[in-house]
Amino acid sequence: MEYSTLGRTGARVSHLGFGGAVLGLKNYLNAFDPADADDRRGLFEAVEVALESGINLFDTAAGYGNGESERVLGEALAGVREAAGEPLFLSTKLSHDGALSPRQSLERSLGHLGRDHVDLVQIHGNSYTPDDVERILAPGGIAEQMQQLKAEGLTRFIGFTSEDDNGGVDALVHSGVFDTMQICYNFIFQHPYEPSRPFGALFEAEKQGMGILTMRAPTSGTFQRWIQMVNPENTFDYTPALIQFVLSNPLVDVALAGMRDAEIVRKNVAIVADTAGRIDINAVHTRYV
């Protein structure tokens, strides 16, 4: 397995991360029920193969199936402290909708996971309005409360996630509060990285020394559905190329991919091992010869 350093955290993490959304969300991307015995058995096999392959970063959230993803990982990782000799790195998320305080949210997640702490807790964000950012960064707000949880050892690091690359993301990056940023980035959604300018959240997070995690490396099926629409007879599997595109970006520390069964894990691990499949990401944006 290929490893990188997660920004200023200094943590050594697998370049391919195990995305936990697929563990808890019913019928996410395809027919699936975490309550089904056969489906659930496949999840545990996938986690076992991931650990054996050296994937040491596992990302989950209470929002993935009302805690179901956390409970699956809690059971699958019970007593586990490392993956192929590398320290386990476990990440979860908390909501910023005000339903629970950061402490209440994290303590609930720790209960699901069966742990006394996690390595990373992130604000589970989709989009951030100016009001959201003000509330997060205000004195006594969510960010300050997360820093207190970090000081108490309930989490080693704090971060935020987003689907966007907008003013809210920029404000959170430049606040200097967060250790990591997790953002949507892949061949279809390249908004956080435009090297010909250059601009984008990946550049700004890198300047701040933040660890950078990306989600939806295989595009959550978006690219594949488009291919099916415009070329129904196509038989080429674009998944390796899509994952390699994200792995080729020098600013990406961890490319997260959802993996529900052991065979998908094995295929994705093989993709990471095939470093000859990497591309010059900047050359893709070249317009003149």
pLDDT of residue 289: 78
Q: 223: Cβ–Cβ under 8 A, 6 or more apart, which residues?
A: 186, 187, 188, 238, 242
pLDDT of residue 200: 95
The strand pair at 3-5 and 254-258 is best described as unpaired
> Region 167-176: what's the mean pLDDT?
96
Tokens of 28: 């996410």
Higher pLDDT, 36 or 255: 255
Higher pLDDT, 23 or 215: 215
pLDDT of residue 67: 87
Task: Annotate 91-124 with b (16+ C-beta within 10 A) or e (fewer).
Answer: bbbbbbeeeeebeebbebbbebbebebbbbbbbb
- Residues 217-226 have pLDDT tens digits of 989 889 999 9
Residue type, 243: I
Euclidean distance between CA atoms 13 and 157, whole angstroms? 14
pLDDT of residue 175: 96
Active-site residue, from 28, 64, 193, 288: 64
Q: Facing residues of 181 across strands?
A: 160, 212
pLDDT at 97 > cutoff 80:
no
Q: Count CA atoms closer than 13 A to 262's CA, side-chain side.
A: 10
- 64 carries an active-site annotation: yes
pLDDT of residue 201: 96
Domains of the chain by start residue, with CATH:
3-279 (3.20.20.100)
pLDDT of residue 138: 95
269 alpha-carbon distance from chain centroid = 16
Cα(first)–Cα(last) distance of the chain, in Å?
A: 36
Task: Give the CA-trace dihedral at 271, 208, 182, 283, to 10 degrees.
Answer: -40
Residue 140, Ramachandran bin (φ over 0: left; ψ between -120 and 50: alpha; else beta) = left
pLDDT at 55 > cutoff 80:
yes
- Residues 78-95 have pLDDT tens digits of 999 999 999 999 999 998
Q: Name the helix (H) or strand (E) containing 146.
A: helix 142-151
Higher pLDDT, 30 or 127: 127
The reported pTM is 0.92
pLDDT at 143 > cutoff 90:
yes
> Region 140-147: what's the mean pLDDT?
96
Distances (CA, A) of 187 to 27, 126, 214, 217, 277: 24, 19, 12, 8, 15
Q: Is 195 helix (H, G, I), strand (E, B) or coil?
A: coil
Q: 254: pLDDT confidence band, cut at 50, 70 and 90?
A: very high
Q: 28: pLDDT confidence band, cut at 50, 70 and 90?
A: confident
Give the number of other CB atoms < 10 A from CB of residue 143: 23
- Residues 37-54 have pLDDT tens digits of 777 888 899 999 999 999
As a whole-number percent, the residues of the chain with pLDDT over 90 amount to: 78
pLDDT of residue 221: 87
Of 188, 218, 216, 184, nearest in space to 202 by CA: 184
pLDDT of residue 260: 87
